[in-house]
Amino acid sequence: MAPIFSLVIVIIFLISTAVVSAATGPDYGFTVELIHRDSPKSPMYNPLENHYHRVADTLRRSISHNTGLVTNTVEAPIYNNRGEYLMKLSVGTPPFPIIAVADTGSDIIWTQCEPCTNCYQQDLPMFNPSKSTTYRKVSCSSPVCSFTGEDNSCSFKPDCTYSISYGDNSHSQGDFAVDTLTMGSTSGRVVAFPRTAIGCGHDNAGSFDANVSGIVGLGLGPASLIKQMGSAVGGKFSYCLTPIGNDDGGSNKLNFGSNANVSGSGAVSTPIYISDKFKSFYSLKLKAVSVGRNNTFYSTANSILGGKANIIIDSGTTLTLLPVDLYHNFAKAISNSINLQRTDDPNQFLEYCFETTTDDYKVPFIAMHFEGANLRLQRENVLIRVSDNVICLAFAGAQDNDISIYGNIAQINFLVGYDVTNMSLSFKPMNCVAM
């Protein structure tokens, strides 16, 4: 997982006989399916849990991995069970399938590799690089070795290595190499990206899940998947997230290249900034929030991101975390506008909850004002049902040493597009189930 958050995405790829090289492009477009970790399609699915158990689990993950988030600027401030989506792709020749957490805050693609001297328990078969005809270790003197961000010296070692640690003291270490990555698509075609830099982990420990093989970084660093795809996809990807517990047959989509364009009626864009401290994150500037037509609230808190940015966007975090002063003003205004009785969260995670057994309640006009982009949120972006008779505000306060995060509930039913070439992020209201 990478330096903080992520897109945790499980992308199930169907391997077909037609393989399209990344050189097909430029700006080749394809789409893959995103599978939520609690979906029946996910290896993490627990059939003994009901919908509200899964909601509680996702809230627990969202809250726990943001407690004491930033412990050391050298470490990647992330907890590696974070992320709500998984990604399935293949490494090597012949293609060897792996399932990994996809993280928009991470810069390195890594998987556990044989021989593994110190590995966490993995239920799936482990990648053996000796069986891949396209696997090559990276020389320490190669420019590709600089992708790791480490101070490598060929006077001490011939081959490049990587080492990454996370805020919960989990870590991954091993050889830095290049190999072919293949991904399937919803069209049935398979796309191959030869000579992709990956970490082959021989020492991996911590709170990694036994159902995943590693991490796929989708962040802003040079070793991330989207940066390594480069001109083949024009530096673009987008996704459209369906409501939690969606039972309408729709699935989440992850688009690359020309398929990732976000334009047309209702589309708005805001600049992506590179944080002074956390360069992997997609950092944005949130100027204000509105509740009703006359209540607009601004934050006076200083952001630890540095520079112009004050919030990151992350599809792997469930809740939206706002600076405490802004959060309480925002939450109180919503509470005063909803004609529902306040109550306690039965799971004791969320602060602003209300009693209702139906979904016919109304919410006021609610908008998030990013630099250059005003987003009107719908009810499903603001409130989440946690039991048969309780709904709660899907927002929480970020303490002084925490990073503010625009989470995935706030992104439901928006097509969200990342353009790392032009450093812009776009939103467009969309019925993601119908896509």
- For the annotated catalytic residues, the residue numbers are 103, 314
- Cα gap 312→219, rounded to integer Å: 11
Is the backbone of residue 308 left (phi > 0), alpha (psi -120 to 50) or beta?
A: alpha
Distances (CA, A) of 357 to 79, 350, 388, 390: 35, 18, 6, 7
DSSP SS3 for 92: coil
Q: Where are the beta strands (DSSP E) in 76-168?
A: 85-91, 96-103, 110-112, 136-137, 161-165
Query: In this structure, what token pair is assigned to residue 373?
Result: 């982009």
Query: In this structure, what token pair is assigned to residue 411?
Result: 């992104």
Query: Are the C-beta atoms of 113 and 202 separated by less than 8 Å?
Result: yes
DSSP SS3 for 228: helix
Those residues with Cβ within 8 angstroms of residue 329's Cβ, 6 or more apart along the chain or in another chain: 297
DSSP SS3 for 135: coil
Q: Report the amino acid identity of residue 389.
A: N
Buried b (16+ CB within 10 A) or exposed e, 143-158: ebbebbbeebeeeeee
Query: Are the C-beta atoms of 176 and 138 separated by less than 8 Å?
Result: yes
HSE-up (13 A, CA, CB side) for residue 115: 1
Q: What are phi and psi of 409, to 5 degrees?
A: -65, -40
DSSP 8-state class, residue 394: S
Query: In this structure, what token pair is assigned to residue 270?
Result: 């805001």
- Cα gap 241→315, rounded to integer Å: 9
Query: Are the C-beta atoms of 105 and 281 separated by less than 8 Å?
Result: yes
